[in-house]
Amino acid sequence: MDFALTEIQQMVKDTAARFADEELKPKAAEFDQSHEHPQEACRALGELGFMGITVPEEYGGAGLDYICYVLALSEISRGDASVGVIMSVNNSLYCFPVMTFGSEEQKKNFLVPVASGQTEGCFGLTEAGAGSDPSAMRTTAVLDGDEWVLNGEKKFITNGNVSGYAVIAAVTDKEAGYKGISSFIVDLENTPGFSVGRVEEKLGIRASGTAELVFEDARIPKGNLLGEPGDGLKQMLTTLDSGRIGIGSQALGIGRAVLEEAIVYANEREQFGKPISAFQAIQWKLADMATALDASELLLFKAAWMEDNHKHFEKQAAMAKMFASDSAMNAAIEGVQILGGYGYSQEYPMERHMRDAKITQIYEGTNEIMRLVIARNLLKGK
């Protein structure tokens, strides 16, 4: 067993870390306050190959492995968690299903622009009444000649207000239950009947748009069906497994930012004639943070390695996402505590990290659902 990074993996990590420190951290507070989509940063990430890390170069990506994905995404999220989730959704929730289930023609037409970072992609599964339970989905797709007609609304869609393309789940056979759900690629900029609805005002990751997607007799070509009719749920669940590695990496990056800033503050802040880092109460908080974050990284590396090697990784992805997000949230709470009043003030970024960390316990499967996924695999002997 070798824990050393390859030369390429180390280069990816160093490049991402430099970009986070020089381009993202100085602007993160401004983006958080303005809620502005960081388009310039996203285009720069595309030039670095980070918006389609595991996508082969012939389709606009970097052709790297999932370990590189974890390394790059955690560093980018350390710089700005909003940019991190934009990158995660682009890679995991749009590029992955198109690359995995799309035809050669679909990859050339719909993968290249997103993997190369020319525009963003998004993933439309969640609805107002269908979150953890996709069987309650109401969005429908009806075949009419050479076109599918989409009707319905998708909720809480990351990148939804800025994306050029989307993978959308819809019911194509109401009588077939779970087996009646199909997936479609939608060119959002050239589909009459599509509109962006409400854009959410959120607690955290506020530079990342979270929008409602509205389809009213929206017509898309018959050839935009992803895979076969009825394959949608299976495709979505596989996609979410990969996506959970991304969200775990985002959480890891947030936790790393918390730990770095807590150490700096603890060494500078003095009480009773010494830096507060000299007190055991502070040391223990830092030690617990560091241990949990290192453990999170190892869980993420294992899940990424299993995905790279085409092994069943559903359990490992759920474990990594659950543990990393819980660790990030715990670290952020303690980080605020270490900074005291300053931790609660917007003068320091710690309060932003706490707001950003919370969502990682919720999206792409709540941590309660993660525990169900883990238990189901354990009971099946996987």
**Residues tagged active-site:** 364
Cα distance between residue 286 and residue 260, in whole Å? 10
- Residue 288 CB coordination number (10 Å): 14
Who contacts 376 (Cβ-Cβ below 8 Å, separation ≥6)? Answer: none
Cα distance between residue 21 and residue 38, in whole Å? 15
Cα distance between residue 85 and residue 26, in whole Å? 18
- Residue 135 CB coordination number (10 Å): 11
Q: Which two tokens stand for residue 45?
A: 């990430």
> 3-state class of 143 per DSSP?
strand
> 3-state class of 165 per DSSP?
strand
Q: Which one-letter amino acid corresponds to residue 348? A: Y
Contact 115, 55 (CB under 8 A): yes
Q: Which two tokens stand for residue 379?
A: 């009971």
Query: How do strand 163-171 and strand 120-124 relate by DSSP bridges?
Result: parallel
Q: Which one-letter amino acid corresponds to residue 323? A: F
Q: Which helix (H) or strand (E) holds 343?
A: none
Cα distance between residue 309 and residue 320, in whole Å? 17
3-state secondary structure string across 265-283: HHHHCEECCEEHHHCHHHH
Cα distance between residue 95 and residue 112, in whole Å? 9
Bridge partners, residue 219, by sequence: 149
Cα distance between residue 68 and residue 53, in whole Å? 8
- Residue 312 CB coordination number (10 Å): 11
> 3-state class of 192 per DSSP?
coil
